[in-house]
A and B are shown apart, each in its own frame.
Chain A
Amino acid sequence: MKVKVLSRNPDDYVRETKLDIQRVPRNYDPALHPFEVSREYTRALNATKLERVFAKPFLASLDGHRDGVNCMAKHTRNLSTLLSGSCDGEVKLWNLTKHECVRTLQAHEGFVRGMVVRYCGTSFFTVGDDKTIKQWKMEAPGYGEEEEPLNTILGKTVFTGLDHHQKDAVFATCGQQVDIWDEQRSSPIRSFTWGVDSFSSVRFNPVETELLASCASDRSIVLYDMRESAPLKKVIMTMRSNTLCWNPMEAYYFTCSNEDYNLYTYDMRYLDRPVTVHMDHVSAVLDVDYSPTGKEFVSASFDKTIRIFPKDSGHSREVYHTKRMQHVICIKWSSDNKYILSGSDEMNIRLWKANAAEKLGVLAPRERQAANYSQKLKEKFQHHPQIRRIAHHRHLPKNIYHQTKELRVMKEARRRKERNVRKHSKPGSVPVVSEKEKHVVTVVK
């Protein structure tokens, strides 16, 4: 008698090495999986909830300054080094991995207004209220040596901002005018003035490296070309812009932080209306910095919060605040796209994660896959009300929350009034002005 035994080839279900994934004999026929949508919905919901659970963005605070932190600079060649200048003229170099100050130097009398690291990373420049530009070595002086700047340039007026060219030995300062300096000379190689103003910030375009933009106190943003003798164009807005930042990946976009609680992203070719108006802050925005990928930017505000905006979205995706953080004066996004650094009034520098719920460090392949999958799920179901509710929920300090509400009411009231005026006047006499156009007064050629 022959006995038939059920037998299978182990090759069909046993993996070759233990590093392989398990063989899963599975039928992917969609007819056999009727509940796929609901199952994925549950997964997405769980992923969203977990994201909120793990969202702990605050990493560390760097304590040591004896006055408010007025400016910061990223090291161009080193991720773990940060420079910060305070209102008492002190400059500190920080080691971010160890959370400690490695060097302190008294750079100026009065405020350190601006600071920038040379593209090679061997030295840095500072400007201060004492009308000087100083160049310092990045390395600490040896034992017994005195802390002395490499170069000191005495200016006629106070310098308020500073930026360095991406590749050349050229830097720009702003004060009463915008000056372009050669590192080897003690007088500017070019000065731009356009009416009598004081400028608050000047920035080189990191992509088209010969272009600059500056914010002036006459509520204008002025564009320059380093090679030309005259400025290029100027846009005047309803309120003053404090700082601006160019997109490091897209040559013609820049974002400015404005006193009217908003940020504006402009296309430099079409200054007559901003591309996007970013609103969410409830007080003046003091500083802005792009992520190195050019996809997002972070803004620091007088309302004691930091917000992260996608570059083409009108509202922020994230808001960071802590109880003790006062007015945030300066902000930087680290050049590996992982961290955010904020310097605030109460003498502290804070280190944040750029993605609040992201796990830091090296991920195992399976961890990474799971993270990617849950990210995609969240994206897929982001419009579903429950998921949306959880994903968008943020805790805000009471005053900011109420101020937001108040602003909303004010805005609505204004809108209603305008609508009523339009309704009761001759058709066409009260034109509809879009939000983008509202804030631009004029463009001066």
Chain B
Amino acid sequence: MAKVSKKKVSKKSLKKSSKGTDKIAEVKADVVYDDDGDDDEEDLYNADENITSEEDEDGEDERKRHKLLEAISAIGGKRKKKLGERSEAAVQMSEFTVNAEGEGDKVDLSDLIGTMEKTSAVPAKAKKQLKNLQRSTKTIECPLSKQESQRIQRDVAFQKAATEVTRWKGIIRQNQRAEQLVFPLNQEPSGPKPMERVVSGWKAQTPLEQEIFALLSANKQPFHDPVLTPTEEASMRAMSLEEAKIRRAELQKARALQSYYEAKARRERKIKSKKYHKVQNKAKRKDFVKQFDEMVRSDPAAALEELSKMELSRMQERMSLKHQNSGKWAKSKAIMAKYDEGARQAMQLQLEVNKELTQKLVTSLNDKEEEEEEEAGDAEVLPDFVNDAERGLDSSNPWMRGKLSEEPTEKETSDTVVLIAEGPGAGGNPAVEEEEEEEEEVEETEEEALLREFDSRRKLRQAQETDVVASGDAEEENAAADDPGASDKEEEELSEFTSLLRGMADSRREAEAEKAEAAADASHTDASARLEEGLMRIRTLEDVELLRQEEPAADEAPEQPQQPPATENLAPATQKAGKKRKRKRGIELKEVLTKEAKVIQVPLAPTVEDAEDPDEKPDQRGLIREAFAGDDVVSDFLKDKRKQEDAGRPKVVDLTLPGWGEWGGTDLKPSRNKRRRFRIKTAPPPRRQDQHLPSVIVSEKRNSAISLHQVNSLPFPFQNHAQFESTIRSPLGRTWNTERTVKKMSKPKVLTQLGAIIEPMAREELMKDKKQASPGNTSTLDSRKRKH
């Protein structure tokens, strides 16, 4: 073996060097022949081959000579034993300095391995193995018999085939369980197909077609796949899935917020309360001012424009008589104002609006102008207020009234509680409402802020805006500080009146409080009394019930919540109610169960007696008698039988309808004649089968006519009766089910296409299944793209 491989190597190298080193080869060949002069035919043959491959003419003579020599030697009958051995072509490779010294020797394994140790490329493991091989002296086991080896071969092959086939298990299972299988398996989807798939070598030929395609290609419109233009595709590719998702979520949120906002706006628009709208408008105006201040900084030009607009509107307001007291409504109110607090207030409010609208805006833009006009402005403001006062000439004390209306707004933050305590009059309510409105405003601003935030994020202006907002706030404060400053003087003037008024109000309140204190218990503080009052006003369902229960108690004390005595009376009442409720919580048997329970006497006495003396060993009969001491089996059986008989007996059906054919009414019975006519007696049933069998009950329920149609035993695939019955009970038809359900339920298990050849399952199915099983983002993305 080793020799053969050697030969191959030598041959190769020979061929390589065949042309370039002719002469050397010749010489070497000479040498070989000389040495090998008495070698066998095989050697000769080899050498011969080598030389012919070289195609050397000079070598021809040599060979002939050699042949001759060989023939002569063969005649001599000298034959060596090394017949099977082939000479090596390697001897001729002089350029590698391989000499044919050990030509005749056998090559040992050790010879080959010896070189192995020197080469570093061979791994150490292989070296070790080879060493072991060299050392081992075992003989190789004789090969298996043909039958044995074939059997092993078959077994291996079968295992291979079996595992190969087992890959189909998943698909086979899936198909067996599938509710519906559609054949042929790989149907092409119906619908229009792209042109290039239908016709492979199609070209625009007619001039019209050419024109159209030229147009399409000029505009980069798709004409193969009529879904996406190249630009659209590029944009599709540009956007990643994640990005798209985020963007979509953002848009969704924005849309939702917008819809909330719109809904809210709609709701607010529907509110009829004038007061509410007034407050709203006021807030808006405030907001506008805030924004305006902002604008002054960021965009002076626009601000100026706005300012001019505002100026214009102010002028208009000043010119018009809209919020003056000269209108029809105002006049009527003015008449009413004498008697009606509400009217007075309304007028006041209107005038306030006027004042606000006509007020000059103070901005940093026109500071100088402001300074110039300051005096004029004051003059303007002051007369307005004076106007107010003058306008309220109908009322007894205009100054006071003016302040009264303003008072709550000033106070609202400080002591709302006091205001509430003052009573459920007009004074308390607006404050509360305003608070609520403010809360609403806060909500609204939140939403707006969110919306705005989305916008800003898109424009990447987050940081700027926050800055602006902060500055805006500060400015607003400044403006607020400015405004009071403008009207300081008048306040100073008014302070006297207000203090007077306050004093009066306080004194009155104190008097009331004193009264209340006098009336109330020492333990009840003012606040607690108020709290209870509040409780009274809030009427929950429980309270109502309680009140109903406590009606007699409430009747005793006249219900006047404003008056302290009433509150005093009521407090104990509620306390009482609480107590009552507490007592009620526990269910009292006597009240719930009106009927008396029957006491069942259990005949246990004899067994107990028996248990007392266990020494006595009763016999079997006695034991049974003891065990069934309580029940009389025979009589029970008889009772059962009688019951069954009664149930089987047909009942008399009374079909008389009172009032038909004669007078009807209470205490009027249908006549005997009629009753006789409409009472239906059915025919007596056939005799019972167990009529003459005293100790047997034969059931008459079994209907032989029906039992012919009934299923006797549980059919195969079902596990239990309930399962089977439920399948039978659920109807399939369209009389009892909706169209869709019927279609779904009556789907055939196997669906074939008319006239289509159903091919056997192909290997591709297996691949398809595997693809589906492996989760792939790319595939989903691809499908998405295809959809678009």
Q: Which residues of A contact B (CB under 8 A)?
A: 21, 26, 28, 30, 33, 36-37, 39-41, 43, 76-77, 79, 166, 206-209, 211, 223, 225, 228-233, 248-252, 268-269, 292-295, 335-338, 362, 369, 372-373, 375-377, 380-381, 383-386, 445
Binds A, one of B158-166, B282-290, B388-396: B158-166
| Cα distance A294–B756 in the bound complex, in angstroms | 16
Complex partner residue of A230 from B150, B175, B728, CB under 8 angstroms: B150
Query: Shortest CB–CB separation between residue B539 and chain A, in angstroms?
Result: 41
| Cα distance A362–B736 in the bound complex, in angstroms | 28
Residue B680 CB within 8 A of the other chain: no
The 10 A-B residue pairs with the shortest CB-CB distance in the complex, in nearest-first order: A206-B760, A248-B760, A292-B758, A383-B715, A251-B168, A232-B158, A372-B746, A36-B731, A228-B157, A252-B165
Query: Residues of A contacting B738 with CB < 8 Å?
Result: 28
Query: Residues of A contacting B154 with CB < 8 Å?
Result: 230-233, 445
Question: Which of B155, B161, B712, B734 has the most A CB atoms < 10 Å from its CB?
Answer: B161
| Cα distance A233–B151 in the bound complex, in angstroms | 9
Residue B153 CB within 8 A of the other chain: yes
Contact between chains at B183 and A337 (CB < 8 Å): yes
Decide: A39 near B158, CB < 8 A? Known: A293-B750, A337-B752: no
Contact with A along B43-56 (1 / 0, CB 8 A): 00000000000000
Residue B349 CB within 8 A of the other chain: no
Contact between chains at A207 and B166 (CB < 8 Å): no
Contact between chains at B728 and A445 (CB < 8 Å): no
Contact between chains at A211 and B161 (CB < 8 Å): yes
A271 closest partner in B (C-beta): B158
Query: Shortest CB–CB separation between residue B716 and chain A, in angstroms?
Result: 9
Contact between chains at A37 and B746 (CB < 8 Å): no
Query: Residues of B contacting A335 with CB < 8 Å?
Result: 757-759
B707 closest partner in A (C-beta): A385
| Cα distance A294–B752 in the bound complex, in angstroms | 12
Query: Residues of A contacting B727 with CB < 8 Å?
Result: 380
| Cα distance A269–B754 in the bound complex, in angstroms | 35
| Cα distance A77–B168 in the bound complex, in angstroms | 26
Contact between chains at A269 and B735 (CB < 8 Å): no
Query: Residues of A contacting B732 with CB < 8 Å?
Result: 40, 373, 376-377, 380
Decide: A376 near B151, CB < 8 A? Known: A228-B157, A269-B165, A336-B758: no
Decide: A43 near B733, CB < 8 A? Known: A249-B175, A293-B752: yes
Complex partner residue of A380 from B165, B166, B728, CB under 8 angstroms: B728
| Dominant secondary structure of chain A at its interface with chain B | loop
Query: Shortest CB–CB separation between residue A313 and chain B, in angstroms?
Result: 11
Contact between chains at B746 and A376 (CB < 8 Å): yes
Residue B748 CB within 8 A of the other chain: yes
Q: Which residues of B contact A (CB under 8 A)?
A: 150-151, 153-155, 157-158, 160-162, 164-166, 168, 172, 175, 181, 183, 708-712, 715, 727-729, 731-739, 742-743, 745-748, 750, 752-763
| Cα distance A294–B165 in the bound complex, in angstroms | 16
Besides the known contacts A230-B154, A380-B727, A385-B709, 8 further A-B residue pairs in the complex with CB atoms under 8 A apart? A248-B758, A251-B761, A252-B172, A335-B759, A336-B752, A336-B753, A372-B746, A377-B733
Query: Residues of B contacting A231 with CB < 8 Å?
Result: 154
Contact between chains at B758 and A30 (CB < 8 Å): no
Query: Shortest CB–CB separation between residue B461 and chain A, in angstroms?
Result: 52
22 contacts between A and B (CB under 8 A): A28-B737, A28-B738, A36-B735, A77-B757, A206-B761, A207-B760, A208-B161, A208-B165, A231-B154, A232-B158, A232-B161, A250-B175, A251-B172, A252-B166, A268-B162, A292-B757, A293-B181, A337-B750, A372-B746, A372-B747, A376-B745, A445-B151
Question: Which of B710, B729, B739, B760 has the most A CB atoms < 10 Å from its CB?
Answer: B760
Query: Residues of A contacting B151 with CB < 8 Å?
Result: 445
Complex partner residue of A207 from B155, B754, B757, B761, CB under 8 angstroms: B761
B746 closest partner in A (C-beta): A372
Complex partner residue of A373 from B162, B733, B754, B760, CB under 8 angstroms: B733
| Cα distance A43–B746 in the bound complex, in angstroms | 14
Complex partner residue of B153 from A21, A206, A230, A250, CB under 8 angstroms: A230
Query: Residues of B contacting A41 with CB < 8 Å?
Result: 709
Query: Residues of A contacting B745 with CB < 8 Å?
Result: 376
Query: Residues of B contacting A384 with CB < 8 Å?
Result: 709-711
Decide: A252 near B168, CB < 8 A? Known: A384-B711, A385-B708: yes
| Cα distance A233–B158 in the bound complex, in angstroms | 7
| Cα distance A335–B759 in the bound complex, in angstroms | 8
A229 closest partner in B (C-beta): B153
Complex partner residue of B761 from A26, A36, A249, CB under 8 angstroms: A249
Complex partner residue of A293 from B155, B164, B165, B183, CB under 8 angstroms: B183
